[in-house]
Amino acid sequence: MIYFKVQNREEAEDITQETYVRAIPYLQKNRVSPDKQMAFLKTVALNIIRDRWRQHQRRGTTADLEAIRNEH
């Protein structure tokens, strides 16, 4: 599911690892019922993906101001 969303193997592996790192404390403390654990993991993964997309959008594009000044 994660690879389908990001289309990059390395990024999908990173997100999978981060998903388990974030989810394990909740699962160990039995805060998530056993029948909803897979849905919980998917939700955590989707939240991580959305966070990364937001971070990427905030960065925007960069411009070389010196090159622009030299053109004018």
Decide: 57 and 16 in contact? Cβ < 8 Å. Answer: no
Give the mean model confidence (pLDDT) for residues 4-16: 95
> Could you read off the pLDDT of 21-66 as tens digits, one per residue?
999 999 999 999 999 999 999 999 999 999 999 988 777 667 777 7
Q: Give the model's pLDDT for residue 58.
A: 74
Q: Which of 1, 40, 5 is nearest to 52 (CA)?
A: 5
Q: Give the model's pLDDT for residue 29.
A: 94
Q: Which domain holds residue 36?
A: 2-71
**How many domains would you assign to the chain?**
1
Q: Give the model's pLDDT for residue 61.
A: 64
| Cα–Cα distance for residue pair 5/23, rounded to 1 Å | 19
| Cα–Cα distance for residue pair 58/68, rounded to 1 Å | 22
